[in-house]
């Protein structure tokens, strides 16, 4: 059976030693009194909840899946999911990052982010149920009317109700401009919504008393395309004036999908049959309002992948230490045994260290961006808010696509460490691979992320956001330029920074001539940019570890080894990617459609 130990030590390292989170929070009036002890205590409890309550129902949840009753439209998640959710609510976890005005604890996003990494490690499928509630909360908080806020926010905050995002329809996923669900205004100011939505995570279940669906639909006078889409709040049950629940609103689950993974998460086909909803934000401006949720969700998906990478790594390490097979090529390491444990073999270590470097690097990046979001939301300095917002905008597609691609590689490596046993369900490793695969698809495919990065975030403002982030790297390179011990990290970082600058300029020039050049290079470009961000963070982590080398704590030695591994074995991938990015779009477009 798989194991999971919350990686609290590494979280502490990133939060306190790398990023000095509590110092940063002191500069945000709203979070000034959130100190190190508070953060650590919360994470320790969160880790217990994840490992003791959620993790034991992960493998069984995958095997059982969800069930759908065609008559009642009810959906039952796997055994234990409902009870775990009740404990989650009782423990006050949904309240953590919510506004005290609605019953929240007002802790910063960065702490919630760490909690969620552990929930995802323990049980990604289960975490899909509460996962979108906070995003729905953020959306209503930013765009809802006072009545919507007072009706929905306390219930989302307590976790009594959960939330969904209802975007996709059979004929439109990426291209929301094609959506058809209709919203007819009623005389009482509400709307009747009619249409079909698919791929709605946690669209129906019995874990919470009510579900708040945030639904994209078209008003009768809507312009065509993406500028004619409005956002509506549709409650599973009508909410009476006193806040209690009334009749069922006709938004029903018609079927659930049978999927490659996250089988414990109900992926619902939802039918809106004249369901009553209220408008959120301005008419026809629904996509903008929904983007608050979508950006949060994209970071959440990156975090899911860090969680899966961590748990897959932990299990693969345990197996590699335990499994006896073949002798080391350089001579027996366990002479009293009939063979050595497989961790002596260089390629087994390479697979393990790949997962480790991606888990720890992804954790550092995730926490880094979560803290930036806290700055964006809570700093009292407008310039800092603006700067943080720019960094968040730039990094969001990287977090989503780079971390999810990495998890696909890493979980597959961890499974490979098990040999044939990795392919067998009972060992639990293949589930991590299957669960990880969805992360490259949902909340905008990784191709869409790459177009967002290169087309919109980088070339869209003539490289201004990239330059700002590059200044952080340049400052660090400058600062460490005379530190001999740091040269092994600083040199490749500075070199890659130069290459990214040149590549960006080159692609920008090409894109002037042919807009398709962006699409031809974007995926390679995102991966190169991801490595640049990782190289920056790994170099900074190496600096902290170097400073602690004398402490004798093996944690720092391991951090340094992992940093060196990253620079030696993973970063060089950029050499090939830069070549393919530069080779242009012609080799992709030359073939006529009929020849495929």
Dihedral of CA 309/314/315/316: which sign? positive
Does residue 400 interact with a copy of itself by CB under 8 A? no
CB of 515 to a copy of itself, least distance (A): 4
Does residue 411 interact with a copy of itself by CB under 8 A? no
Alpha helices in 91-108 (DSSP H): none
Catalytic residue among 138, 430, 443, 517: 443
CB of 244 to a copy of itself, least distance (A): 36
Q: Name residues whose C-beta falls within 8 Å of residue 250's C-beta, 6 or more positions apart in sequence.
A: 272, 273, 274, 275
- Figure out which of the listed residues 116, 191, 534, 565 binds a copy of itself, where binding follows CB under 8 A: 565
- Figure out which of the listed residues 374, 387, 430, 452 binds a copy of itself, where binding follows CB under 8 A: 430
Nearer to a copy of itself, 108 or 203 (CB): 203
- Figure out which of the listed residues 445, 491, 501, 548 binds a copy of itself, where binding follows CB under 8 A: 445
Does residue 332 interact with a copy of itself by CB under 8 A? no
Q: Residue 257: how many CA atoms within 13 Å on its side-chain side?
A: 19
Does residue 492 interact with a copy of itself by CB under 8 A? no
572: which 2 tokens? 């060089």
Contact status, residue 214 vs residue 139, Cβ threshold 8 Å: yes
Dihedral of CA 328/331/334/337: which sign? positive
Contact status, residue 94 vs residue 156, Cβ threshold 8 Å: yes
Q: Which of residues 156-215 bind a copy of itself (CB under 8 A)?
A: 168, 171-175, 177-178, 198-199
241: which 2 tokens? 């004036």
Nearer to a copy of itself, 241 or 329 (CB): 329
Nearer to a copy of itself, 238 or 564 (CB): 564
CB of 164 to a copy of itself, least distance (A): 15
CB of 214 to a copy of itself, least distance (A): 18
Report which of 164, 135, 140, 165 is spatially closest to residue 150, judged by C-alpha positions: 140
Let me know the angle formed at the C-alpha of 141 by 136 and 142, rounded to the nearest 5 degrees: 100
Examine the residue annotation and report whether 443 is marked as an active-site residue of this protein: yes
Alpha helices in 54-199 (DSSP H): 58-64, 81-90, 109-143, 146-158
Does residue 5 interact with a copy of itself by CB under 8 A? no
457: which 2 tokens? 């975030």
Does residue 552 interact with a copy of itself by CB under 8 A? no
- Figure out which of the listed residues 40, 145, 514, 548 binds a copy of itself, where binding follows CB under 8 A: 514
Q: Which of residues 42-61 bind a copy of itself (CB under 8 A)?
A: none
Nearer to a copy of itself, 94 or 428 (CB): 428
- Figure out which of the listed residues 36, 40, 254, 328 binds a copy of itself, where binding follows CB under 8 A: 328
The Cα 345–Cα 324 span in angstroms is: 11
- Figure out which of the listed residues 116, 442, 476, 534 binds a copy of itself, where binding follows CB under 8 A: 442
The DSSP output letter for 281 is S
CB of 403 to a copy of itself, least distance (A): 16
Segment contacting a copy of itself (CB under 8 A): 78-86, 96-104, 134-142, 259-267?
A: 259-267
Does residue 113 interact with a copy of itself by CB under 8 A? no
Using DSSP's 3-state secondary structure scheme, residue 442 falls into coil
Binding mask 260-289 for a copy of itself (x = CB under 8 A): xx----------------------------
Report which of 409, 408, 173, 183 is spatially closest to residue 294, judged by C-alpha positions: 173
138: which 2 tokens? 């953020």
Size of the site for a copy of itself (CB under 8 A): 101
Q: Name residues whose C-beta falls within 8 Å of residue 53's C-beta, 6 or more positions apart in sequence.
A: 84, 87, 88
Segment contacting a copy of itself (CB under 8 A): 28-36, 98-106, 245-253, 337-345?
A: 337-345
Q: Which of residues 515-544 bind a copy of itself (CB under 8 A)?
A: 515-516, 518-520, 522-523
Report which of 347, 450, 458, 342 is spatially closest to residue 394, judged by C-alpha positions: 458
Nearer to a copy of itself, 324 or 474 (CB): 324
Segment contacting a copy of itself (CB under 8 A): 5-13, 19-27, 158-166, 324-332?
A: 324-332
- Figure out which of the listed residues 41, 209, 324, 474 binds a copy of itself, where binding follows CB under 8 A: 324
CB of 205 to a copy of itself, least distance (A): 19
Does residue 3 interact with a copy of itself by CB under 8 A? no
Let me know the angle formed at the C-alpha of 130 by 126 and 136, rounded to the nearest 5 degrees: 145
Nearer to a copy of itself, 223 or 576 (CB): 576
Let me know the angle formed at the C-alpha of 228 by 223 and 231, rounded to the nearest 5 degrees: 155
Q: Residue 199: how many CA atoms within 13 Å on its side-chain side?
A: 14
Nearer to a copy of itself, 68 or 141 (CB): 68
Nearer to a copy of itself, 39 or 454 (CB): 454
Does residue 434 interact with a copy of itself by CB under 8 A? yes
- Figure out which of the listed residues 37, 147, 383, 592 binds a copy of itself, where binding follows CB under 8 A: 592
Q: Which of residues 226-245 bind a copy of itself (CB under 8 A)?
A: none
Nearer to a copy of itself, 235 or 411 (CB): 411
Please give the distance of CA 135 from its chain centroid, rounded to a whole number. 12
Contact status, residue 416 vs residue 351, Cβ threshold 8 Å: yes
Task: Check residue 42 and give left, alpha or beta (phi > 0: left; psi -120 to 50: alpha).
Answer: alpha
Report which of 223, 153, 243, 231 is spatially closest to residue 193, judged by C-alpha positions: 231
Binding mask 340-369 for a copy of itself (x = CB under 8 A): -x-x-xxxxxx-xx--x-------------
Gyration radius of the chain's alpha carbons: 24
Does residue 8 interact with a copy of itself by CB under 8 A? no
Segment contacting a copy of itself (CB under 8 A): 31-39, 121-129, 208-216, 558-566?
A: 558-566
Segment contacting a copy of itself (CB under 8 A): 54-62, 227-235, 384-392, 557-565?
A: 557-565
Does residue 321 interact with a copy of itself by CB under 8 A? yes
3-state SS of 376-408 is HHHCCCHHHHHHHHHHHHHHHHHHHHHHHHHHH
Neighbours of 540 (CB within 10 A): 22
Does residue 585 interact with a copy of itself by CB under 8 A? yes
Q: Judge residue 202's burial from the number of C-beta atoms within 10 Å of its C-beta, 0-12 exposed, 13-18 middle, 19 or more buried.
A: buried
Nearer to a copy of itself, 208 or 522 (CB): 522
Any idea which residues carry the catalytic annotation?
443
């Amino acid at each position: 059976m798989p194991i999971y130990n919350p990686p609290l030590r590494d979280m502490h390292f990133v939060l306190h030693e790398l990023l000095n989170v509590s110092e940063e929070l002191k500069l945000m009036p709203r979070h000034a009194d959130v100190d190190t002890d508070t953060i650590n205590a919360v994470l320790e409890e969160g880790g217990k909840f994840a490992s003791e309550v959620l993790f034991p129902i992960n493998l069984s949840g995958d095997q059982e899946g969800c069930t759908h009753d065609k008559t009642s439209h009810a959906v039952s998640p796997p055994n234990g999911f409902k009870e775990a959710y009740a404990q989650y609510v009782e423990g006050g976890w949904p309240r953590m990052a919510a506004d005290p005005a609605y019953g929240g604890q007002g802790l910063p996003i960065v702490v919630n982010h760490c909690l969620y990494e552990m929930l995802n490690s323990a049980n990604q499928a289960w975490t899909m149920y509460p996962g979108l509630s906070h995003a729905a909360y953020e959306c209503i908080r930013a765009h809802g009317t006072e009545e919507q806020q007072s009706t929905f926010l306390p219930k989302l905050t307590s976790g009594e109700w959960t939330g969904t995002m209802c975007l996709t329809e059979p004929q439109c996923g990426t291209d929301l401009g094609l959506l058809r669900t209709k919203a007819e205004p009623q005389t009482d100011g509400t709307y009747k919504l009619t249409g079909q939505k698919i791929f709605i995570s946690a669209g129906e279940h019995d874990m919470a008393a009510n579900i708040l669906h945030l639904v994209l639909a078209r008003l009768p006078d809507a312009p065509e395309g993406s500028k004619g889409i409005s956002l509506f709040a549709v409650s599973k049950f009508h909410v009476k004036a006193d806040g209690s629940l009334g009749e069922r609103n006709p938004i029903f689950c018609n079927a659930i999908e049978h999927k490659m993974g996250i089988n414990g998460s109900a992926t619902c086909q939802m039918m809106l049959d004249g369901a009553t909803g209220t408008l959120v934000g301005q008419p026809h401006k629904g996509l903008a309002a929904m983007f608050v949720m979508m950006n949060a969700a994209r970071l959440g998906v990156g975090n899911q992948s860090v969680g899966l990478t961590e748990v897959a790594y932990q299990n693969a390490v345990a197996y590699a230490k335990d499994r006896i097979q073949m002798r080391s090529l350089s001579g027996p390491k366990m002479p009293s045994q009939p063979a050595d444990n497989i961790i002596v073999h260089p390629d087994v270590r390479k697979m393990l260290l790949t997962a480790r470097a991606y888990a720890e690097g992804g954790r550092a990046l995730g926490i880094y961006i979560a803290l930036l979001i806290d700055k964006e939301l809570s700093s009292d300095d407008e310039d800092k808010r603006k700067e943080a917002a720019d960094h968040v905008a730039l990094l969001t597609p990287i977090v989503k696509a780079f971390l999810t691609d990495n998890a696909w590689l890493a979980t597959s490596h961890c499974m490979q460490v098990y040999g044939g046993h990795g392919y067998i369900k009972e060992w639990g490793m293949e589930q991590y691979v299957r669960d990880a695969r969805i992360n490259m698809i949902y909340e905008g495919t990784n191709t869409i992320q790459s177009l967002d990065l290169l087309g919109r975030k980088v070339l869209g403002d003539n490289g201004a956001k990239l330059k700002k982030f590059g200044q952080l790297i340049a400052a660090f390179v400058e600062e460490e330029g005379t530190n001999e011990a740091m040269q092994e990290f600083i040199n490749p970082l500075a070199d890659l920074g130069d290459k990214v600058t040149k590549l960006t300029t080159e692609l920008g020039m090409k894109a002037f001539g042919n807009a398709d050049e962006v699409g031809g290079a974007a995926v390679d470009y995102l991966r190169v940019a991801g490595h640049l961000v990782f190289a920056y963070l790994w170099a900074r982590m190496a600096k902290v570890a170097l400073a602690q080398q004398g402490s004798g704590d093996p944690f720092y030695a391991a951090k340094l080894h992992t940093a060196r591994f990253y620079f030696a074995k993973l970063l060089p991938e950029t050499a090939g990617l830069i070549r393919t990015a530069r080779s242009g779009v012609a080799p992709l477009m030359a073939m006529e459609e009929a020849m495929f």
